[in-house]
Structure 1
């Protein structure tokens, strides 16, 4: 089954990687004097103790990436997950809006609101909708801030309403972009575009829990298929940090997911085409009845990568995963296929030739019709999701997506998808059409996605509202490779388009 999953992952990428190879061999467009634009952004983390019942508390870790869409108004994706207590596997993803009101050069007040969906860890989340209004008092110093957050965490259709004071910290960043119509051109710039990731990759393989590792129901945790992704940012030639996430896609633990931050080192072994490295990662994991305690997870691994073309690489990775306050201990082996997006700046005082690639971010809402449950029932469920697309050519792109349940008695249900898409030129009045082919993992919330592996196809129509924003409407089908979760799906997405300069 793992081999089948890896084959499907490769098939999903073929339409996108073929043009990438061709682009690597083509002549670069002469650089023009385009003006890049920038918008203030911030990376924000919070940690608080949420009251689950009269005798239970859960440590909740939050992570946000927010862009200043208007003066002092920040908006962006956010995710919250359990790190302490006994609800490991609780994940909630959604969107955060925050105001920054400066009181003095060293003090700001930041009220905000989070809306998202998810669940897990057998918590009383109802349909999965989570609201988190908050007020943060921040001390500021040279681009960083820390302080206290007064917040309420509430699941309106569940049994959790908690008021608390927590810790919060943030780092100020800059998001570099260009106008979307400049995609395919080149420019001189000393700065990376977008989030600043230098490469992205998808991973597929297996986890092999150590002997004696048992699940929450007392059963033995056998070999489990895994699918995920990682994105890396190099601080200089040999040192990088990254973000990674994944889910179990085969076995009896559908619903397990993990999200981690990582640091690593990498060196060429024979030439610049063959490299070896090591990674240490810390984050959260859980679900699928895997015993991770409160949800904290640490991982360590080594890997080897071979650069096939200037843009495309493959690799092998092996390591160990450990839940410090659970009994989950596992060896894992992964196959990687990825794409180079950029590289660390050679000099902060000189410009480099950078290609402008089209990109899209989207806030997505979907309705999975008559979704099969493990109980035998069929009931529709609704999700909220965040989508990131990056153009390979003007008509093809890579996509990474994460969706979590908001309604439909499926709190804790989540889907992670990667794949490729193809789109038509506009045919008039800003209308275009497209098709996405995706593969990934889904589980939780009692949905019958046995094993977790799913494939999805979505034809869609896109309606441009202006040169930056569009409305995308799609109707398609999701299919569980082993379970009964085979549903028609309708989705609507608000899409933001921009260009990203990259070396």
Structure 2
């Protein structure tokens, strides 16, 4: 979800328009020229928007695609330039910078850079393909290699405008709902990478669902979860899927299929590819609020993970059936860096380094009142000898206006964290932070803050003081 909203936001920076706006989604594969430890190829999901003629910006999430490195995740920012060649082709130069790691493959900082040159060609409809070469390097790992790159992209219009405008739109794909969730992996005879029997895992996360119109009876969704208890500290997964519903709204049953990637901790997902099929029921509780119950069968394509996954989701639904494309929903997005100042028990026993991790941070805020908002936060490590360390948080925030340009906000969050030799006591963590924002102009604000993160299970563990620096901007979606 954060990749989509980042791309939406940077389109907003160019100016507010009461019309739908195109976002390019790309699925890519980088096949390495030679095997890099246990990794033979990367796959990626990108969301980008054009911020100037021929210049595109967005976010990309990379993960393992082939080999035995399921659980390798790297997230960051993508910038590329295109030149038209004839009617259907474009020459493309681009670069990526981000952070992450996992699968015991990144023992150092986790900073990843990637440069590429590709030929992009329109295939049919709103689908294009790319073919090119790239060079991938991850600091603190054996990964440093040229690669052959392939990609498929789709251009999709979304109904949104920059700023808090309520003029409405008449076309574009809509965000139907945001769904905080909890799920459990129940396995039978699966074993971990170290040979132990894999026990039940509990995960928390969020799903975002999208549709071609507010009244559609089918939808696409993006789901991301991380382990907080059981046998999966450091495990996370991301899946993209398609869902059929018996009705657009109200009490309804649904069925879905999904695919994605997952791994981390000691969970054996092989190369990291996952596939799921499931069904459930949605129960309306109040206007704009539902509860969903269901289950999936999830399996790693080439790893030792097959599980029944029951779940429960709360669903914040948007829009009004009798006012399509006229119901506004206000959002805020921030991007920046977080520095964690470690405490004495921050690292697991036997991990000698005392460096302070630096993480790339993205937060998405959904305003449910004039100043009250729900927030989702994702962080991946880019420095500090903690390759593979990642954090996902959800919670509440409140904004306090202090003048024409100044405002403060306070947030409290719960979520999952793990990897990189950091002792998160099974993965369940809480965090709080205080931020001060200065509006540079009517679209962008500079933000600085201080906070605290705490593990909630076991004794000791990671309890760092955190320092935050970033940029914030706002936009409005219509439903």
TM-score by length of 2: 0.90
SS at the partner of 2:364? strand
SS at the partner of 1:486? coil
Preserved CA contact (<8 Å) 1:39 1:68: no
Q: Distance in 1 between matches of 2:23 and 2:463?
A: 39
Q: State whether structure 2 residue 197 is matched by structure 1 residue 214.
A: no
TM-score by length of 1: 0.86
Preserved CA contact (<8 Å) 1:52 1:160: no
Correspondence for 2:93 among 111, 119, 123: 111
Q: State whether structure 2 residue 421 is matched by structure 1 residue 439.
A: no
Partner of 1:27: none
Deviations, residues 216-268 of structure 1 (Å, cap 9, x unaligned): 11111112111111111134632111111101110232110101111111114
- Which residues in structure 2 correspond to 1:158-237 (within 5 Å)? 158-182=141-165, 185=166, 187-192=167-172, 196-210=174-188, 212-235=189-212, 237=216
Q: CA deviation at 1:175?
A: 4.3
Preserved CA contact (<8 Å) 2:396 2:412: yes
Partner of 1:75: 57
How many equivalent pairs are there? 455
Preserved CA contact (<8 Å) 2:388 2:420: yes
Partner of 2:371: 395
Partner of 1:276: 253
Q: Mind listing any 5+ residue stretches in structure 1 that lack a counterpart?
A: 1-33
Q: CA deviation at 1:374?
A: 0.7
Q: CA deviation at 1:163?
A: 0.2
Q: CA deviation at 1:112?
A: 0.7
Preserved CA contact (<8 Å) 1:93 1:385: no
Correspondence for 1:497 among 464, 474, 477: 474
Could you list the structure 1 runs, at least 4 aligned residues long, displaced by more than 6 angstroms after superposition: none
Q: Distance in 2 between matches of 1:238 and 1:189?
A: 21
Preserved CA contact (<8 Å) 2:237 2:260: yes
Deviations, residues 358-416 of structure 1 (Å, cap 9, x unaligned): 21222121011115111265542110022222211220112222111101111011111
Instruction: Label 1:71 to 1:174 Cα distance change in 2 as closer, same or farther (>3 A).
Output: farther
SS at the partner of 1:394? coil
Preserved CA contact (<8 Å) 1:58 1:83: yes
Alignment RMSD: 2.2
Correspondence for 1:374 among 337, 341, 348: 348
Q: Distance in 2 between matches of 1:200 and 1:175?
A: 16
- Which residues in structure 2 correspond to 1:16-415 (within 5 Å)? 36-50=18-32, 53=35, 57-124=39-106, 126-141=108-123, 142-182=125-165, 185=166, 187-192=167-172, 196-210=174-188, 212-235=189-212, 237-268=216-247, 272-342=249-319, 352=324, 354-370=326-342, 372-375=346-349, 378-415=354-391
Preserved CA contact (<8 Å) 1:322 1:328: yes
Q: Mind listing any 5+ residue stretches in structure 2 that lack a counterpart?
A: 1-15
Deviations, residues 198-224 of structure 1 (Å, cap 9, x unaligned): 1110111321111x2110111111121
Q: Distance in 2 between matches of 1:340 and 1:83?
A: 34
